[in-house]
Structure 1
Amino acid sequence: MMNATAEILKKKIESFHPDLLETLAKVVEKLENRNRPTILPFHRDEILYRIQFHNEHPHTKLDFYENISELEKLYA
C-alpha cells in the first residue's frame, strides 16, 4: 500500500509546473530540517495499534481526535 501511495504522489509531483515543484522542494526541505520532538515508542505503538484495529474493524471509532490535544501538550 505504501508503494502504491508513493507511486501516486510521484506521478502527481512529476506533472507539477517547475515553479511549483521548486516551492514544494523548499517546503519539504524546511520540514526535514525542523527539530522534531522524539515520539516515545509507547505512543507510536499505541497509534499503530489503533490504526491496525480500526482497519480490521472499520465500524469502530478512531479516537485520535479526542487524545490529540494531550499529545500536542506533551510535544509542544
Structure 2
Amino acid sequence: MNSSIEILKRKIETFTPELAEAFIRIVDNLDTTPKSNVPQFQLDEVLNRIQFHSENSKTKLDFFKSIAELEKICA
C-alpha cells in the first residue's frame, strides 16, 4: 500500500497546474463517506426505535432482548 501511495505522490508532483486543478476537483467530488455493511432499512429501524423511546420515556428499551436474539442467530 505504501509503495502505491509513493508512486501516486510522484505522479501528482509532475502534474501541470491545470491538471493539478482538475485532479483536485475530481478528488473533491469523490464520496468519502464511510460505508456501513448494515443495510439502510436496519439503520432506519434503530433510529426510529431510539426516537420512539426518547419521546416515550416510560417505555423500556428491548436492547437486552435484541442482543439475546442476535446471539442466537450468530451462534
Normalising by structure 2, we get a TM-score of 0.41
User: As a proportion of its length, which structure holds more helix?
Assistant: 1
Normalising by structure 1, we get a TM-score of 0.41
RCO (CA 8 Å, sep 6+): is it higher in 1 or 2? Answer: 1
